[in-house]
Structure 1
Amino acid sequence: MQVILPDEQVQQIQHLLAELIEKEIEKKLHHSSLESPFLNKQQACHYLGISNNTLDSWIKKGLPTIKIGKTIRFNKEAINSWLYSQN
């Protein structure tokens, strides 16, 4: 069975779907673990919008880390301060 809708209804459905997708993305971003002040390497890469290789390079250049045993964490405030100091 095929349903044919007028162009106006198709556009309305597309608009509603786009709004729903946008709201879900915003909800996921706001409820993600990025709300925590401390990030793991994957979260830090996502937070900064960089690759793992770039993050490793920045760590060698002095990006502050917190080491707990073999675990590395990043404080978002320290990341921001370090980035501003690189200007």
Structure 2
Amino acid sequence: MEVSNQNILSVVLADEQLTKLREEIYQMILMETKRVRADMLVNVRYLSKKEACEYLGIAFNTLTIWIELGLPQIVIGGTIRLDRFEIDKWMHTMSEHPKKILSTYAQLIHRRKSTTVQLQSVDGMMTS
């Protein structure tokens, strides 16, 4: 196949411009890849914790807190899965009752502090 000279466009870029252009293209490809992965999760019902984090766009620590706040999970033989439909339902419920979230979160923090104090007491007894 022969290409005519009329269809060729030559662009001369400085090294800095070329580096910046490569980075921009890389970031665009990365964003599209993430979007495609997220779109693929829409067709999957049961998600791993990692997939659930990607689906929700949250950090792993946030997911752990949400599970402690009542986000339903399925545990079979040590394997944890989250039902995408239940995630959506839970999110909807929580968005309608923000005071419930704050109350439950406060209870969770209180429980964690109590556990920490108990652990420190036990640790203190062991070192005495």
Task: Determine if the TM-score, normalized by the shorter chain, exceeds 0.5.
Answer: yes
CA contact (8 A) 2:73 2:82 kept: yes
* Structure 2 unaligned regions, length at least 5: 1-9, 13-20, 97-128
- Give the CA RMSD over aligned residues: 2.7
Asked which structure has the greater RCO (Cα within 8 Å, sep 6+), the reply is: 1
Amino acid in structure 1 at the alignment position of 2:66: W
Name the count of aligned residue pairs. 72
**What is aligned with 1:78?**
86
Structure 2 distance, partners of 1:27, 1:48, is: 14
Structure 1 distance, partners of 2:37, 2:63, is: 24
**What is aligned with 2:65?**
57
Could you tell me the TM-score, scaled by structure 1's length? 0.66
Q: Tell me the SS of whatever aligns to 2:54.
A: helix
Structure 2 distance, partners of 1:27, 1:58, is: 25
Cα deviation 1:38-62 (Å, max 9, x = unaligned): 1000000000011111000000110
**What is aligned with 2:11?**
5
Structure 1 distance, partners of 2:36, 2:55, is: 16
Structure 1 stretches of 4+ moved >6 Å: none
**What is aligned with 1:48?**
56
Select the structure that is richer in helix: 2
Could you tell me the TM-score, scaled by structure 2's length? 0.47
Structure 1 distance, partners of 2:51, 2:70, is: 18
Closer, same or farther in 2 for the Cα pair 1:21/1:40, shift >3 Å? same
